Amino acid sequence: GGGGGEGGEKAAGGLVALALSQYAERASKDLQYVAARAGKSLQGAVDATTAYLNGDQEMATEAQRNALAEPKLDMPGVGKA
């Protein structure tokens, strides 16, 4: 009877398990790549933002320095006899 199909089911189950295992291995590598790529993208955004803010700070410092500097007046005729 009924016992003949059992060996075929085990073989099919083994093939499905093998296919799932291979898929999981491939998917794991793909997910690791995506995670690494996302990490590099985020770090690039952080670095760009930091550079932008540092540039703003440098410009603000220069503007303050210029505002506090002694004025240079060009007044023709003043001081000449």
Per-residue pLDDT reduced to its tens digit, 23-71? 999 999 999 999 999 999 999 999 999 999 999 999 999 999 999 998 8
In angstroms, the CA 17 to CA 21 distance is: 6
- By the 10 Å C-beta count (0-12 exposed, 13-18 middle, 19+ buried), 11 is classed as exposed
DSSP state of 39: H
Alpha carbon distance 23, 16 (integer Å) = 10
Q: Report residue 48 CA to chain centroid gap.
A: 10
pLDDT given at position 6: 62
Per the model's pLDDT, the better-predicted residue between 76 and 41 turns out to be 41
